[in-house]
Each structure stands twice: as C-alpha cells, then as structure tokens.
Amino acid sequence: MPKNNTMTKNPIGVMDSGVGGISVLRHIHALMPHEHLIYFADSAHAPYGNKSQEEIKQRCFAVADFLIAQDVKAIVVACNTATAAAIAEMRAKYDLPIIGMEPAVKPAAAASKNGIIGVLATVGTLKSAQFAALLESYGRNVEVVTQGCIGLVECIERGELDTEHTKQLLAQYCAPLLAEGADTIVLGCTHYPFVSALIAQIVGKSVTIIDTGAAVAKQLQHKLNAQSSVNSSIEPATILFFTNSQHTQSNKVIETLWGQPAAIQRLS
C-alpha cells in the first residue's frame, strides 16, 4: 500500500522501457504544469518489445515499486508494450491509479476516410492479447495493416532521430502501410512520436498520423480529478528523471527529447 497516495502535492510517476515515454510526459506537463513528475527510463532493459510477457511484468513491478517508494500518487505506464503485458497485474497488485495506453485504433478508424489504417508498434504489442481485443472492438469495420518496427526503439534510445539508418528503417516500415493504401497511421509506441516528422516526410501530407500522448494526459487528469488529488498549488513543478542507462550519452538524449535541461539521476 503506497503511503500518502491521495496527497495532492505528491508526484505522478511516469514509466517506460526507456526514453519514449518522455513523449507522453511532455503532454502531461503541458496539460498540468503544476504537477510534480517523476519519470523512470528503464533503458538498461530496453527494448521491452522483444521480451517475454513474464519478463516485462517483472520489469514493470520493479519500476512501479521504485516509483511507489517515491510516494507517487498515480502511475502512468507510458508504454504500449508494457501496458499490454502487465497493466492488469499492476492494477491488481497496487492500490493507486494506474493509467496505461494502447494504440489509437479507435480514433484512427474514426478519422480514416478510406477505411484503411496502419499501425506501427513493437512486435510485443502487436502479438498481445490486448491488441487482438482492441482490433476485435474497434477494427472490425476498417482494414488494419500492422507493422512491427524492430530496431526503431534502439535508434531513438541512442538519440538517432534523424540519421540515415533511422530514415531507412522508417521507409522500410512505412512501405507496406502505404502499399495497402492506409490514409491514417497510428504511432503505437511512445518512442515513435520523436520521429513523427520523418514519418510525415515519408508518408506525405495526405496521410494522418495519430499519437496517443495527449489522450493519455487527459485520462490522467480525469483520474486525478475523480480522486480529488489534483495539485492546485501554483508553485512551479519539479520534474525529476531517473535512468538506469549505462550509456554516457543518455543524459543528453533525455534532455534533447524533453526539450530543455533536466534533473537526471542515474541508477546503477
């Protein structure tokens, strides 16, 4: 049982297999600038996308235990792969709001004009039972073309947002979606918004790209409102990053993705 989990000034924990969830953190901070935030990048164990469900669950429990020890009042699992593998068990195990995320198939199906949508995600997300259930619920009236993006998370973890290799991978992964005529593409992994400009260049202006970060931030706000734990203080928020990455450039990558200097603690 977490201590003080309804205290309004307690931070919100945001976790991901690595730096990708910073794309969600940015939306949370933009929507609720007075909330204190703790971000945990489990980069030493990224990517989650090719790990077993059991391994991902164990990592999620370890990271959640760490965040709860920091007295967080809610946890955002800013990772589609971790949500698919572990959210049910996390909610059963921990007594605080846990917000997860899944590829935006529903909004994409609503936005598509020709009824063909593409989903870029990790292999772990695409083969999960949660994703199958999502398609069953919202993908019935559209054609859904899925593409697992092996190696892309690693590029973004290294901060390679605009290299030839990253461009080449993206071109390779977008090609089948374009060949099928997708007019709407879902970014089904929180790392991918950091290369959405490159994706837009490849797929062209006529294709709509959908990211889930803003919706997750709204869902979090809704949960905090419901349990009366919104921080109503007008003091500036503290944003603290923890990473277990052992790469020397990891702090620079975090600051690049966050968009400003960041308070970062490296864990061994």
Residues that bind ligand DGL (CB under 6 A): 16-18, 20, 46-49, 79-81, 122, 125, 153, 189-191
Is 189 a catalytic site residue? yes
Comparing CB distances to ligand DGL, the nearer of 17 and 250 is 17
Nearest distance in Å: CB 24, ligand DGL: 9
Asked whether 40 and 254 are in contact (CB, 8 A), the reply is: no
Comparing CB distances to ligand DGL, the nearer of 50 and 227 is 50
Is 155 a catalytic site residue? no
The residue at minimum Cβ distance from ligand DGL is 49
Nearest distance in Å: CB 52, ligand DGL: 13
Comparing CB distances to ligand DGL, the nearer of 75 and 153 is 153
Nearest distance in Å: CB 231, ligand DGL: 26
* Catalytic residue selected from 60, 79, 155, 174: 79
* Catalytic residue selected from 60, 149, 174, 189: 189
Kindly list the catalytic residues: 79, 189
